[in-house]
Structures are given as structure tokens and as C-alpha cells.
């Protein structure tokens, strides 16, 4: 008879064992409750994996069969008047939600337009006056400038 650790190594691959090794493992399982419980756990895990694979394969087949029907139904929904009502409801709900912001933006735009028009109107009413006016230099102004320059020069020398 083989030892316990060797038999425990065979438990994970129990379904793939040859007839001779399987008989030795079965004999050990009648004597060892721990190994029997471990084998039972492995068998439950194998069944769960097989069920998952069956469900996955079945769901893939169902999707392949149901996909054209789902696409056709989706196209019918988008063409129905009910979907237009839903779209209109969403638009009106969005407009109602953003109503204060839109009113504020419209008021600001009107205010800017009013001031632009008013300032343009005021600018057109101004008389055309040249920006710089040339005045001829008078002899008195020249004499005053020369006197100030001479006084400043004299004070600078005095210091």
C-alpha cells in the first residue's frame, strides 16, 4: 500500500487516474476520512466549473440567437412616438433645470448690447475736434522760459 502523502497527491487528478492507481486510492479512501472529504471537495469544485462552462456556453449561444431580435426591437423603439415623447420630456426637463442660468446669460447679453449701442451713439454725437491744438509761441512765454532756466542754472551753481 502507498503512503498517505502520495495518495493525497492523486486526489486532485482522481478522474484522470488509470484503473490500478484508482483502485489503490479507493482502498485508501475507505480507511481515511480526511482524504475522502478532500476528494469530495475536489469533485464538487469540478461540478461547479462544469456548470459554469455550460451556463457560459449556453448564454453565448443565446446571445447569438437573441442579438438580431434585440437589435430589431431597439430600432422599433427609436422609431416609435413614445421615444419622441421621452426625448421631448428630457429636453424640457433640461431647459427647466438650467432656466435661471439661461435667463442670467440673456440679461447679461442684453446689458452688454445696450452699453455698446449707447457708447457708440455718444461717440457719434461728439464734434470732430482735432486731438492736438498747435498754438504759436508768444514772445512773453519764451522770455519766461529763459528766465526760469537762468534762475535754475544760477541756483545750481550757487550750491
Is 71 a residue whose pLDDT tops 90?
no
Is 69 a residue whose pLDDT tops 70?
no
The per-residue pLDDT for range 9-64, each reduced to its tens digit, is: 888 888 888 888 888 888 888 888 888 888 888 888 888 887 777 666 666 666 66
Are 46 and 15 in contact by the 8 Å Cβ rule? The answer is yes
Contacts of 10 (CB under 8 A, 6+ apart): 17, 21, 25
- How far is the C-alpha of 74 from the C-alpha of 120, rounded, in Å? 57
pTM to 2 decimals?
Answer: 0.35
- Tell me how far apart the terminal alpha carbons of the chain are, to the nearest angstrom: 128
The per-residue pLDDT for range 95-135, each reduced to its tens digit, is: 888 899 999 999 999 999 999 999 999 888 877 766 665 55
The per-residue pLDDT for range 73-87, each reduced to its tens digit, is: 666 655 656 666 777
Task: Please give the pLDDT value at position 103.
Answer: 92
Are 13 and 42 in contact by the 8 Å Cβ rule? The answer is no
Structural domain spans, the chain: 1-77, 80-124
Amino acid at each position: 500500500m502507498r503512503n498517505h502523502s502520495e495518495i493525497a497527491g492523486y486526489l486532485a487528478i482522481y478522474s484522470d487516474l488509470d484503473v490500478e492507481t484508482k483502485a489503490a486510492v479507493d482502498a485508501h479512501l475507505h480507511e481515511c476520512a480526511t482524504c475522502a472529504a478532500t476528494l469530495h471537495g475536489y469533485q464538487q469544485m469540478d461540478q461547479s466549473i462544469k456548470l459554469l462552462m455550460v451556463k457560459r456556453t449556453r448564454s453565448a449561444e443565446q446571445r447569438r440567437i437573441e442579438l438580431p431580435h434585440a437589435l430589431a426591437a431597439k430600432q422599433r423603439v427609436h422609431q416609435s412616438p413614445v421615444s419622441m415623447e421621452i426625448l421631448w420630456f428630457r429636453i424640457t426637463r433640461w431647459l427647466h433645470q438650467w432656466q435661471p442660468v439661461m435667463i442670467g446669460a440673456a440679461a447679461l447679453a442684453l446689458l452688454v448690447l445696450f452699453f455698446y449701442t449707447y457708447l457708440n451713439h455718444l461717440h457719434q454725437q461728439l464734434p470732430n475736434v482735432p486731438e492736438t491744438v498747435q498754438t504759436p509761441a508768444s514772445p512773453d512765454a519764451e522770455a519766461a522760459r529763459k528766465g526760469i532756466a537762468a534762475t535754475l542754472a544760477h541756483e545750481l551753481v550757487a550750491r
